[in-house]
Amino acid sequence: MRRFIIISLLSAMTLPTLACIWGELTNPYLFSMYRRTEFKERVEKICNDNWQAYLGTSEEYFWFNADDVIKAAQHKSDGLMVSYVKNLQKYLKCVDVEQSKQYEWNYPSKEEIAAQQRDLQAIRTYALGNTKTKLRSQHALLYMRCNMMLGRHQENINYWEQTASQLIETVYKDMMQNIYAGALYKTGQEEKAGELFAEMGDYQSLMTQFYRKRSFQAIRQHYLKNPNSKVLPFLLQDFVNNCQEVIDANGGEWFNGKLFVRRITEQEATQMRQFCETVVREGKTETPIMWKSAKAWLEYLYGHQKQATSDILEASKLDGTDRMKDCARVLMLFITANQASDSEAFDNYLADELAWIKEMEKKEEDGYFYRAKTRLSHQALMKHYQNNTDKLIALMDVTNNYHYTEYIDTMRVSQLEKYFAYTNTPAKTNLDKFLKANLKIDEKAMTDLIGTKYLRLCQWDKAIKWLAYVPASFYNEAGYRMYVLLRKVSVEPWITRQWIKDADVDRAETYNWTVSENPKLLFAKEMQMMEGTINVLSGKALCQRCYNLATYYAQANFTGDCWWLMRDGKSVCDTLRVNEVDLRAKTKELLQKASQTTDIALKEKALFALSYAELYKEEQRWFTREWNNETYEYDRKTVSNTQQYSAFAALANFEKQNATHTSQYVSRCDEYIQFRKVFH
């Protein structure tokens, strides 16, 4: 029965949609005067509720089933309903023929299409004959659906205007009106169709109809014909949001390099600003708040912030729908937040507005307030509170700022400790009260993060202090759990890479392996012990300790297999970040010390480790790859003045002197073999 939904929608929706030409734009638009009510979802829900009521069931009704309804109607001796549903079923079979063109192996033959047309005619006649019964609305809808399928659009127009529009208000009447609007569109009466689509919240049909009529001139013409056209909120909103796209794409503020739906030139935007002013002055519009707010937002987008402030203040006093007033209030907050100085007055204003947005988020189902909050957080609040770290982080948390996780992950540990303390102190101001009541802090995660930040600084004692509070179970919930279970920090990465195989994962899952001890705490303790006792060592033991420590550092580095000790995730684009020690440099320093040993085997290992590619940045490697436009190939060029080249050279010289003792991990190393070809 799932297919019925598709069929029923096809039966209800009268215009083809422009799938793939525009997608739902998820980037947060602040200018949203036209509320999308999603016509098709609304009518579908009501129809299902009606069937549920007829069947007398308490279970929510999702899929229409003709046989069930017929059975129930027969039980009630409701002959009219039986004949209606039987004909509806027959109609749906005709729709099925259309569907089979799309989705079935049996593509309909000419004969089947002819039969479908005959059936539609018969159902049409039946339906028309029952439009004076107690199920008149349902039969009228069936009649109009048949006309739509048969392409008899003019008859639908006549029928709606003369008969169906007089029927009582029902969901069937809404659907008929939608078919009527589609018929108007298909017979060239686009203006009238647009008004109806706008009125019933059929956004998809509106976009189909006006896709190529969204320029300033087109909107102006539309206004001149009818200053209170219901399509204008849709058109003006689309125009303003496209301006926002252009401004965003020009970069600087947030998403650099964003591309746009319809490029609007600054000249066109200026014309629109002037036109908005004219519209408000003329006084013909019933919604001056919309035009004045549009002007304010355009002024803001194009850098005229003072004008924007004055316009939005003026707009908030003008008439319009509730949605328009809400939207103007959001714009006012955004524009103010970007210009107001840091003050308690602004904090109080913000606290009130954020509380209001939070309430509105619950009421409005179209997600406008969530999106508005997102943009406000990223583009206004981060800038406004850049010098007040505690409030900034709390605001990022409560507004679901996309950068929150990265921000707290890379900030200085002392600041994060201070913030953590702030969250646990009583609130004093209104803003503090709002923030602390809405924080979503996970104390274990925060403690782990602070401990991890100390790991990144190699401050083992402080790391131990924090990590001691994090139970092992926390790491069983971590995304990197499998790496914790399957990798060891003591394995030399230059000799063995710990690639994870499917079989290992399967085994871990099958036997339900769990992390039984806090792995970061263990690591910190081991490092503390190894470094704390290094001063008492000398000679071979000291070199061996240096080598072991180098192994640990290399593993814990972001290029190591145990990257999860310091980071939550891994990517090929990772680099050394602020507020962390360069573990690669530490590794190399320790390996240099280890390579001073008189133990031949350890020396070979240390020299080999020093040539390990993961210890070097791209520009420190022993060769470069350059694209050759003539051969369409990469050319490999040796660079002899790099760190890795020197390391490989030292290894090669060592092996020359100890030719009979070369270990397999050296002689079989691909990169070493390549190096030897160019090194003499």
Partner 1 sequence: MSLLLCLLIAGCSEREELSESNAVYYWRTDFRLDSTEWAFFQRNHINKVYCRYFDVVINEEGAEPRPNATISFSSTLPDSIELIPTIYITEDCMHQKHQGLAEKIVKRIRQMNETNDIKPVSEIQIDCDYTSKSKKVYYQFLEEVKQAWGQTLSTTIRLHQLSMEAPPVDYGVLMIYNTGDPKKWEERNPILDIRDVQPYLKRLDSYPLPLAAAYPVYQWVRTIRNIRIEHTVGADEILRVKEAVEKKRSNLKHAIITYHLDKDNINRYKPETYEKIYHH
What is the binding site for partner 1 (CB under 8 A)? 2, 20, 23, 25-28, 101-110, 113, 245, 255, 258-261, 627, 632-634
Phi, psi of 587 (to 5 degrees): -60, -45
Please say which residue, 24 or 322, places its beta carbon nearer to partner 1: 24
What minimum distance in Å lies between the beta carbon of 410 and partner 1? 18
d(CA 264, CA 46): 40
What minimum distance in Å lies between the beta carbon of 632 and partner 1? 5
d(CA 30, CA 372): 5
Residue 621, classified by CB atoms within 10 Å of its CB into exposed (0-12), middle (13-18) or buried (19+), is: middle
Please say which residue, 20 or 659, places its beta carbon nearer to partner 1: 20
d(CA 255, CA 263): 17
What minimum distance in Å lies between the beta carbon of 20 and partner 1? 8
Please say which residue, 511 or 632, places its beta carbon nearer to partner 1: 632
Residue 376, C-beta contacts closer than 8 angstroms, at least 6 positions apart: 330, 333, 334, 337, 399
Please say which residue, 109 or 387, places its beta carbon nearer to partner 1: 109
Residue 378, C-beta contacts closer than 8 angstroms, at least 6 positions apart: 254, 401, 402, 403
Residue 400, C-beta contacts closer than 8 angstroms, at least 6 positions apart: 373, 374, 377
What minimum distance in Å lies between the beta carbon of 251 and partner 1? 12
What minimum distance in Å lies between the beta carbon of 112 and partner 1? 9
How far, CA to CA in Å, does 339 sit from each of 40, 331, 334, 350, 382?
Answer: 42, 13, 9, 13, 13
Please say which residue, 111 or 322, places its beta carbon nearer to partner 1: 111
The dihedral formed by the CA atoms of 561, 565, 570 and 575, expressed in degrees to the nearest 10: -100
d(CA 569, CA 587): 21
Please say which residue, 156 or 241, places its beta carbon nearer to partner 1: 241
Question: Could you tell me what percentage of the chain is helix, strand and coil, using 3-state DSSP and rounding each to the nearest 5?
Answer: 65, 0, 35
CB 169, CB 146: distance < 8 Å: no
What minimum distance in Å lies between the beta carbon of 14 and partner 1? 17
What minimum distance in Å lies between the beta carbon of 187 and partner 1? 18
Residue in the block written with tokens 């040796």: 638
Please say which residue, 49 or 635, places its beta carbon nearer to partner 1: 635
Please say which residue, 261 or 530, places its beta carbon nearer to partner 1: 261
Please say which residue, 108 or 227, places its beta carbon nearer to partner 1: 108
What minimum distance in Å lies between the beta carbon of 145 and partner 1? 20
What minimum distance in Å lies between the beta carbon of 306 and partner 1? 30
Give, to the nearest 10 degrees, the angle between helix 643-657 and helix 600-610.
150
